[in-house]
Amino acid sequence: MISAKGIFFNGNNTWKLLRTNSSDQPLVVQLFGTDPSTLREAVHVLREAGHGWFDLNMGCSVPKVLRQGAGAALLKDVGHAVSIARAMLDAAGRGRVGFKLRLVDDGLGNSSAMDDLCLGLADAGAGWLTLHPRTARQGFGGEARWERIAHLVSLVDVPVLASGDLFTALDGRRCLAETGAAGLMYARGALRDPAVFGDHLALEQGLPAPPKTLASIARMIRRHMDLAIEHGDGDASLLKMRCVIPRYLHGIAGAKRLRVDICRCRTWPELEALVTDFFRHGESLAQRPSPGAARRDPWTETAPSG
């Protein structure tokens, strides 16, 4: 998620966030901001730098983003949000900008404002819409209202991507079946298990998802560490890995102590030693249901085991 102001004022830290390589394509740059002219100029600059696809975050509920009038705060003013969309599409080209949304919180549970916004974005030339069907006030509380995604699919003539409570590939398959969405955005599920994309592809091909084992999780962590060392910023990357690895340990018996030790380590060799020692003496991988597992599963009889 990139600040349009950071691009506009040519901030070094902003451009660091945009570092990529030729194999990371197609790439969509997600921007946040609140001023149409700033967002238009940011897209122009990014186009000149070689980027071709963009997304506007109108779903972020983080207080410091909301205080700027950005993120989910844009949902309060349909006219302003659509004017931003038109500015970005003017710079990028019709169909080259998507919009990430949450439910409009009008306090009454009505959907008319949400419908007006989505129809306005589609009419402006949006390439796709992504809906996380919770309000900003909810954050990640409660259950994502997938029926609102299905409603949006029936409302607009642009592709709709689904988000919310997608913790496993089976969650993703259920969501597609229940909503008719054109695709998915795995978010928290991918942060906990990047293998969710491969699992999803396997299920789509009629194959069982590869089983999760201590060895596979250890390989994933070491691969992430190698990439962080190669492409990251030294100590800053180490601090990030101290936050990332605990997510990967979800469901592993005895992982609490490793989480504590990781938060104290100060060097890459120390982190590597902690991970190696833990997985050498690892106990077991507990099979815990995902938070979305209570939903009705239309694939129960047909989905491959595993």
- Across the chain, what does the average pLDDT equal? 87
State the architecture of 214-280 in CATH terms: Orthogonal Bundle (1.10)
Task: Name residues whose C-beta falls within 8 Å of residue 117's C-beta, 6 or more positions apart in sequence.
Answer: 75, 78, 81, 82, 101, 104
Q: Residue 12 above 90 pLDDT?
A: no
Contact, 266 vs 242, CB < 8 A? no
Which residues 6+ apart lie within 8 Å of 306 measured at CB? 208, 209, 210, 211
The domain ranges of the chain are 2-164, 214-280
Same CATH topology for 2-164 and 214-280: the answer is no
Interval 79-127: pLDDT, tens: 999 999 999 999 999 999 999 999 987 655 557 888 999 999 999 999 9
Residues 181-215: pLDDT tens digits? 999 999 989 998 999 999 999 999 999 888 888 88
At residue 305, the pLDDT reads 31
Letter for the amino acid at 129? L
Asked whether 36 and 83 are in contact (CB, 8 A), the reply is yes
Give catalytic residues, as residue numbers: 60
pLDDT at 283: 55
pLDDT of residue 210: 85
**Confidence label for 140 from pLDDT (cuts 50, 70 and 90):** confident
What CA–CA distances, in Å, run from 279 to 144, 241, 243, 252? 35, 17, 18, 10
pLDDT at 284: 55
| Interhelix angle 268-280/235-248, nearest 10 degrees | 20
If pLDDT is split at 50, 70 and 90, which confidence band does 256 have?
confident
- 2-164: CATH number: 3.20.20.70
Report the percent of the chain where pLDDT is more than 90: 54
Confidence of residue 299 (pLDDT cuts 50, 70, 90): very low
